[in-house]
Amino acid sequence: MDKKQLIQMKGIYKSFNIGKPNELEILHGIDLEIFEGQFISIVGQSGSGKSTLMNILGLLDRATSGEYILNGVDIKSLGDTELSTFRSQKIGFVFQNFNLIPRSNALKNVELPMLYAKVPRKKREERARELLRLVDMEERLTHLPNELSGGQKQRVAIARSMANEPDIILADEPTGALDSKTGQSVMNLFHKLNVEEGKTIVIITHNYELAMETEKIFNMHDGILEEA
């Protein structure tokens, strides 16, 4: 059975300081297709444009021109409020520095996206517990972030990224702040979520060795994206 197309980008350009002498074009006509259940990586050095592309993929920014269809919806058709709602429903984020709320325990951190989505309290807590169990963190659910190791924080962050059952998980340098052994355990978790939960995962990284673990690699260089 053919897999459903989740993302289609055609001719995506992104410029900053438009119309000014210092106008700068960062993305030069990106084409990208991502299908349900894929585990892909976008690899590039600092300054290659990969973070700009991630922000557009994750609906944190808009392209200057080009077409972006996410799960059948033309992103250009959405106003800012609709875009924000759509982002919270469709995309889960995992960041290099975890971005956990320091004064909230693991359970409350995972609940947070569901709080914004107005999920009832009991259902929020049940799902957060279930997700922490999935990432082997059920015994740490009352711990604050400063009581957790880097790998444990990233596991909580991954659980949080799945809170609203997104179509896609975007992970920006998810092992960048971890030692190689802990980083590998986080990658193993992504493999588990991809295979057992059917999650579509996109990893943005400068680490080619990490990218080799994914089923498809795209290279980002000077604002141009090419399949490896």
DSSP state of 45: -
What pLDDT is recorded for position 83?
Answer: 93
Please give the sequence-ordered ranges of beta strands (E in DSSP) within the chain, or none if there are none: 5-16, 24-35, 39-43, 65-70, 73-74, 91-94, 168-172, 200-205, 216-221, 224-227
Burial environment of residue 81 by CB neighbours within 10 A (0 to 12, 13 to 18, 19 or more): exposed
Per-residue pLDDT, averaged over 137-156, amounts to 95
The answer to whether the beta carbons of residues 15 and 23 sit under 8 Å apart is yes
How confident is residue 132, by pLDDT bands cut at 50, 70 and 90?
very high
Burial environment of residue 157 by CB neighbours within 10 A (0 to 12, 13 to 18, 19 or more): buried
CB count within 10 Å of CB 21 equals 5
How confident is residue 214, by pLDDT bands cut at 50, 70 and 90?
very high
Average pLDDT score, the chain: 93
How confident is residue 21, by pLDDT bands cut at 50, 70 and 90?
confident
What pLDDT is recorded for position 1?
Answer: 56
pLDDT tens for 49-97 read: 999 999 999 999 999 999 999 999 999 999 999 999 999 989 999 998 9
63 vs 86: CA distance, rounded Å: 16
Amino acid in the structure at residue 98: F
Cα 125 to its chain centre, rounded Å, is 23
What pLDDT is recorded for position 177?
Answer: 87
Above 70 in pLDDT, residue 47?
yes
The length of the chain, given as a count of residues:
228
pTM passes above 0.95 = no
Find the largest Cα–Cα distance for the chain: 56
Instruction: Name which of 92, 39, 68 is nearest 217 in CA terms.
Output: 39
Burial 124-136 (b: 16+ CB within 10 A, else e): bbebbbebbebbe
pLDDT tens for 171-192 read: 999 998 898 899 999 999 999 9
